[in-house]
Structure 1
Amino acid sequence: MILIKNGCVIDPLSKINEKFDILIDGENIVKIDKNINKINNAKVIDASGCILAPGFIDIHSHFRDPGFTYKEDLLTGSKAAARGGYTTVVCMANTKPVVDNVDTLKYILDKARKAKIEVLQVATITKGMRGEELIDMHSLKEAGAVGFSDDGKPIMKSKVAFDSMKIAKELDVPLSFHEEDPNLIKENGINMGRIAKNLNLTGSPNEAEDVLVARDAVLAISTGAKVNIQHISSAVSVEILRWAKKMGANITAEVTPHHFSMTEKAVLEKGSNAKMNPPLRTEKDRKVIIEGIKDNILEIIATDHAPHTEEEKNNAFSKAPGGIIGLETALALSITNLVKPGYLTYMDLIEKLTINPAKLYNLDRGYIKEGHRADIVIFDPNEDYIVRDFASKACNSPFIGEKLSGRIKRTICKGKIVYMHER
């Protein structure tokens, strides 16, 4: 048994925001009350000064397993997630081989049983992620896929996207779309603008994102499918999504901490550790993204945790892969750049890290309740720290050396402590 005392419980489902004790027995929460008496043999955690929230849910991670386990694997990725307060992670399908078949999906789900947290898996939308032919979505869902995404590559053929939405509507599963038209991009990973020009690069314009967001917003209105637009970076795309929601689309959108925390200027200081797809854009884009977060146009904060080796990232900018790790810094970046400046309350933030991603994937997660599974994160919102080390195999983060607010103290998954901060 675990007894957590003196913490402030913030729960987005019940809207509780008050000091309570929580008693856990086995996998479940058995009591939530004030001043629960200590029980023999119960491990007592003093959460004074801390917030108790549902375990975070990331709907966009790359654990690189199978095929690229020198960058990350299911077990090290899970450790990184636990250290970041995550108890459930949805992994993308651009592994090697890609998850377009039952055998690869089964390998991942079998290995995931050994992980510290719950690892869920999407399958691709198209065979080989080539954007041409749909996979057998029915059989992959039956085998355990929780959704579908060709993340890493856009689906350029409108009919393929349209047909996938019709099937997804029938199956009641989400589709997540990576929106970057390669025909409009000279070099990926950097915004087309002044910074790129100073580096003798052309870069990626926001229009590359906007045109595909617009197309898929229209198709989402038409089909009624549950559509998720991944890692929004453009101010125009935020306004397209605002319009689509007014038109009745069942559309959600995710935003990464790096896109609301940094701009294209980071490339000058951080080099390839600030290279990602879609790229960091302008201060105007960042401000509109924050407005979209405030207005709940962007309902979900997702990490796009994308590990690469130091050797890969130390290449020339044009040759280095895009992407950064994000699971271990997501909360602190959100507190530092969204809550502390007054854009969001802690309740607002926790909704975007828990109940909103759970709803997208039809998961019975993201809340704290008696009789419910004990997935809980304990964090000190006022503890500052310098980003230095990671549980991930990788360290490709532009936030190394940055001072952030918000320290994860404990992560509890299925009633077990899976991460504990060592002072």
Structure 2
Amino acid sequence: DASGLYVMPGFVDLHVHFREPGLTHKETVKTGSMAAAAGGYTSVFCMPNTKPVIDSAENYSMLMDIIQKDACVNVYPVGAVTVNQQGEVLADIETMADMGMKAISEDGKSVMNSGLYSEAMKIAKDKGIVVFAHCEDINLVRGGVMNAGKCADMLGLNGITNAVEDIITARDIMLAGETGAKLHLCHCSTKDSVKLVKDAKDAGLPVSAEVCPHHFTLTDEDITEDDANYKMNPPLRAKEDVEALIDGIRQGIMEVISTDHAPHSAEEKNQSMAKAPFGIVGLETAFALSYTELVCNKKVVTLPELVKCMSTNPARIAGIDRGSLTKGKVADIVIADIDEEYEINAEKFYSMGKNTPFNGRKVRGKIVKTFVAGKEVIL
């Protein structure tokens, strides 16, 4: 009985890190997929920066075996662009695509060799798969751990400038235009990336982009002490960047909300920002944060428009037949109580990672039930 509740197509996350194989002290396919179901996600795309990297038919097949055994939602492995994500030799993109892979990404870094990246894009175009781009000029990072500016200066921390992202965003869009590859820009965080995406779309290029809830909910001014739960890549940006991202969502320039769910152990995150790894968890907070911030507080989008950003659009971009409640479609469904108010409690997360800057934050919108292919996911 869903009376008084809101029924939506299951959410689709184009950007998660499930850490398996090899990094199972942070997360596993089992715990990550449980976190996904708890957050209303029925399909997720997991990034290849595992140990070993998902860069070959053998490693892709190994991960698929784990997924078939342990996942309670649809999990789609994303293949690496280069062998071991070293940026030197192309991964076996063709074979992985023939095995059903939907996308490639070097996520966690960019392929700095533009010639090599262009070759990968041509293969992606030929195979009909998407390129998920993490845009970061590694030569400009220089040990940065948060947004460059007065907040970083006050905390005595090295900053990451907007140019780190913007330069590679511009390059990747140009290469997409040249090769015809479908390009999806991951976790955009700057005002100029919104402008670049708008210009690319206006020019008719096959470009789409995502924003994460932390990037439109928080600014670098929310970092008042050295707390690694606020350390993610790209970093929390300035107010003007956040306003541009929100405006991009309002205008439909930024079509997708993804989580970049990046769990780490408490031991890893309980270090200084200078030492701790980048990344926060997001699967179990994304809907409530997005609904509270974009629909209730700022009235940027309606709830049906938010559902498009979290379900319909990502499904279309990735080329999976999901994101719809139309008769005859697969019954991937999420039911939410959109009136329930509560405090986020990281200790109750199904994810092994508790690394969130949102612990204790008041939100609205609680996921009540998640169904995958018509069956309720019991956690």
TM-score category (smaller protein) = over 0.9
Q: Secondary structure at the match of 2:107?
A: coil
Unaligned runs of 5+ in 1: 1-45
Consecutive unaligned residues of structure 2, counting only runs of 5 or more, are none
Q: TM-score, normalised by structure 1?
A: 0.87
Q: Which residue does 1:157 correspond to in 2? A: 113
Q: CA deviation at 1:269?
A: 5.0
Which of 311, 329, 338 pairs up with 1:381? 338
CA contact (8 A) 2:109 2:138 kept: no
Whether the 8 Å contact between 1:188 and 1:204 is mirrored in structure 2 is yes
Aligned amino acid, residue 124 of structure 1 = A
| 2:56–2:93 Cα contact (<8 Å) kept | no
The Cα of 1:270 is off from its aligned counterpart by: 7.3
Structure-1 residue corresponding to 2:359: 400
Give the corresponding residue for 2:19.
64
One-letter identity of the residue aligned with 1:54: P
Aligned equivalent of 1:104, options 46, 52, 59:
59
Output aligned runs, 1:161-180, within 5 Å.
161-180=117-136
Tell whether 2:175 aligns with 1:216. no
Q: Give the drift of 1:144.
A: 2.7
How far apart in 2 are the matches of 1:57 and 1:197?
Answer: 38
1:414 aligns with 2:373: yes
Within 1, Cα distance between the matches of 2:92 and 2:56? 8
Contact 1:267 1:275 in 2 (8 A): no
- Shift of the alpha carbon at 1:136? 2.2
Contact 1:100 1:127 in 2 (8 A): yes
How far apart, in 1, do the equivalents of 2:26 and 2:241 lie?
31
For the pair 1:271 / 2:227, whether they are aligned, the reply is yes
Is 1:81 the counterpart of 2:36? The answer is yes
User: Which among 76, 90, 97 is matched to residue 120 of structure 1?
Assistant: 76
Secondary structure in structure 2 of the residue aligned to 1:113: helix
* Counterpart secondary structure, 2:350: coil
1:37-94 alpha-carbon deviations (Å, 9 max, x no partner): xxxxxxxxx2122110000011100000001001100000000000000011110000
- CA offset digits 1:323-352 (Å, max 9, x no partner): 000000000010111011210011110001
Deviation at 1:419, TM superposition (A): 4.5
Deviation of 1:135 after TM superposition, in Å, equals 1.5
**Cα distance in structure 1, aligned partners of 2:172 and 2:327:** 40
Q: In percent, how many aligned pairs have the same letter?
A: 45
Q: Which amino acid aligns with 1:57?
A: V
CA contact (8 A) 1:232 1:253 kept: yes
2:282 corresponds to which residue?
A: 326
Runs of 4+ in structure 1 displaced over 3 angstroms? none
Shift of 1:133: 1.6
Q: 2:94 aligned with 1:135, yes or no?
A: no
Q: What is the RMSD computed on CA atoms of the aligned residues?
A: 1.1
Report how far residue 220 of structure 1 moved.
1.2
CA distance in 2, matches of 1:370, 1:236: 40
Q: Which residue in 2 is equivalent to 1:258? A: 214
Superposition pairs of residues 329-344 of structure 1, within 5 angstroms: 329-340=285-296, 341-344=298-301
Please say if residues 387 and 400 of structure 1, whose CA atoms lie closer than 8 Å, have aligned partners that are also in contact. Answer: yes
Local SS of the residue matching 1:354: helix
- Residue in structure 1 matched with residue 50 of structure 2 by the alignment: 95
Shift of 1:95: 0.2
Aligned residues: 375
